[in-house]
A = this chain, B = another copy of it.
Amino acid sequence: MSNENYSHDVYLSPFTWRYGSQNMREIWGEVNKRRLWRQIWIALATVQSELGIVKPEQVEDLKVHKDNIDIENAHRLEADLKHDLMAEVHTYAEQVGASGGIIHLGATSMDIEDNADAMRIQQGTAYIVARLHTVLGVIREQVVEWADAATMAFTHLQPAEPTTIGYRLAQYAQDLQVDLLDLARILDQIRGKGFKGAVGTSASYGELLDGKGITTREFESRVMSHLGIDAFEAATQTAPRKQEYRVLTALASLGQSLYKFAADLRLLQSPPLGEWAEPFGKKQIGSSAMPFKRNPINAENMDSLARLLAALPRVAWDNAAHSYLERTLDDSANRRSVLPDAFLITDELLKRAERLLRGLHVDRQASAKLLAAYGPFAATERLLMECAKRGADRQEFHEIIREHSMVAWAAIRTNQPNPLVENLCNDERVNEFATPEEAISWMDASAYVGDAPVRAKALAEEISNTLNTLSHLGEEA
């Protein structure tokens, strides 16, 4: 519909053509913005017609052209008027003809623009919530699938004790559940400025409604009900900008969860660990010298974009903090970039996260290799405890374990199999308290995963409930 085109001869934001979904790009297009403006003008005129201020047929005239956005003409007019909304009023009025005069009656620019922005934020948030609902469902399945699959846990990037792959995934899932609940609540709370005029007092509407038997607050409420969004009780020329800080921090929080998932994936895809890998396209070019080399480019991309997302809430904070008195215009220009970028980044992150989670390669062989090398050290704790129950001296046993551990470590460093289980289970000081068979069973690292499987499944259950409760916010088929 838009008749003004831009090519790669000039800078095009990657969020225009490279990242983000078509749907989200349209939400943040000028065309959608102006459609919303027109929708608001029509809602306003509709209620005014109910009150006898304008005529129903005039409203009908407005409706005819509601989607007939003509950016080129609007921008031509704006060049003179230096006012984008007024340029749109003129553009729309020209299309409508005689009835065009009722457009924007009694309103201030910000009554239109600011409500439209709240509606765009609402649209964008609803879309993110729907995608996140899907992603959380996907990861929940993976949590269940891998709930029992043992692997080495790492702290300080050092092998520590065993855990399970499902429980590792449960950490991300738990975070994403928090994000979903936060975003769903914020979505529910998004409000518009309403119809409050130049400084928020509705004074101009008061004049207009004088003698119509309706207060300005009631009038506002009726118009807003046409738009599907509530109004703040108090506003100045705009709705409170705090709202955008809250939305952007919730998006950034989601970005943080996905950052960590992607960062862990990048580490785990490193061949010396090698446990996880991204799905890999058939025609994708790896390194020419190493055709099998698999770079985690989606996860890297996610971390790259999430990092930018993390920087954006601060701009919203500033906009809210620095808008002096009944409003200064120092928010406007950066919001044209920051709001779309924040939503489009989140959109892209979710798209890639879904793809990675659905196609996640889990290499059980790699887990087994890590467990074999590093697991026995952790399992010595169990051996110690069992023997202590049978009367072994803890201090002395610590020393025995330490001694064998040092030998085992030296073997690993030279790529030998880990001899710890064998050496320890056959040490006669150990055999005083346990047979080799007993000792070996205690030192099975893959069994030493504590309640990780239980917790992973319990969390999956909790997520199922959350997803059901919020199923109305999920994506449509």
- Look across to chain B and name the residue whose beta carbon is closest to the beta carbon of A338: B308
Tell me which of A155, A235, A338, A415 has the highest count of chain B C-beta atoms within 10 A of its own C-beta: A155
Asked if B155 and A325 sit within 8 Å, CB to CB, the answer is yes
> How many copies of the chain does the oligomer comprise?
4
- Look across to chain B and name the residue whose beta carbon is closest to the beta carbon of A82: B284
A84 to chain B, nearest CB (A): 9
Tell me which of A158, A291, A306, A340 has the highest count of chain B C-beta atoms within 10 A of its own C-beta: A158
**A112 on the B face (CB < 8 A):** no
**A66 on the B face (CB < 8 A):** no
Asked if A329 and B304 sit within 8 Å, CB to CB, the answer is yes
Q: Of B284, B303, B326, which contacts A163 at CB under 8 A?
A: B326
**A271 on the B face (CB < 8 A):** yes
Chain B residues contacting A196 (CB-CB under 8 Å) are: 450
Please choose the segment from A56-64, A130-138, A451-459 that sits at the chain B interface, where 4 or more of its residues have CB less than 8 A away.
Answer: A451-459
- Look across to chain B and name the residue whose beta carbon is closest to the beta carbon of A410: B292
A256 with B291: in contact, given A449-B203, A452-B200 (CB under 8 Å)? no
**A431 on the B face (CB < 8 A):** no
A32 to chain B, nearest CB (A): 8
Asked if B311 and A161 sit within 8 Å, CB to CB, the answer is no
A390 to chain B, nearest CB (A): 13
Asked if B283 and A82 sit within 8 Å, CB to CB, the answer is yes
- Contact mask A170-198 → B, CB, 8 Å, 1/0? 11011100100010000000000000111
Asked if A308 and B296 sit within 8 Å, CB to CB, the answer is no
Chain B residues contacting A249 (CB-CB under 8 Å) are: 245, 249, 253, 313
Chain B residues contacting A377 (CB-CB under 8 Å) are: 289-290, 293
A310 to chain B, nearest CB (A): 5
Asked if A15 and B9 sit within 8 Å, CB to CB, the answer is no
Asked if B28 and A9 sit within 8 Å, CB to CB, the answer is no
A333 with B14: in contact, given A82-B285, A161-B198, A283-B81 (CB under 8 Å)? yes
- Look across to chain B and name the residue whose beta carbon is closest to the beta carbon of A316: B256
Please choose the segment from A44-52, A257-265, A421-429 that sits at the chain B interface, where 4 or more of its residues have CB less than 8 A away.
Answer: A257-265
Asked if A240 and B174 sit within 8 Å, CB to CB, the answer is yes
Please choose the segment from A222-230, A379-387, A433-441, A469-477 that sits at the chain B interface, where 4 or more of its residues have CB less than 8 A away.
Answer: A379-387
**A206 on the B face (CB < 8 A):** yes
Bound complex: CA A159 to CA B412 (Å): 20
Bound complex: CA A22 to CA B322 (Å): 30
- Look across to chain B and name the residue whose beta carbon is closest to the beta carbon of A154: B325
- Contact mask A315-329 → B, CB, 8 Å, 1/0? 101111111111111
Bound complex: CA A262 to CA B81 (Å): 22
A289 with B380: in contact, given A158-B271, A311-B314, A455-B234 (CB under 8 Å)? yes
**A396 on the B face (CB < 8 A):** no
A313 with B313: in contact, given A175-B240, A332-B300, A455-B234 (CB under 8 Å)? yes
A468 to chain B, nearest CB (A): 17
- Look across to chain B and name the residue whose beta carbon is closest to the beta carbon of A211: B389
- Look across to chain B and name the residue whose beta carbon is closest to the beta carbon of A24: B11
Bound complex: CA A5 to CA B16 (Å): 10
Chain B residues contacting A6 (CB-CB under 8 Å) are: 5-7, 12, 16-17
- Contact mask A269-298 → B, CB, 8 Å, 1/0? 111111000000101110111111111110
Bound complex: CA A170 to CA B235 (Å): 9
Asked if A242 and B217 sit within 8 Å, CB to CB, the answer is no
30 contacts between A and B (CB under 8 A): A2-B7, A8-B29, A18-B336, A19-B333, A81-B283, A81-B285, A155-B199, A155-B236, A158-B271, A160-B287, A163-B199, A163-B326, A178-B240, A178-B246, A206-B451, A215-B451, A217-B451, A245-B253, A252-B317, A257-B320, A263-B321, A264-B324, A272-B370, A289-B380, A293-B377, A300-B328, A301-B332, A306-B321, A310-B321, A365-B414
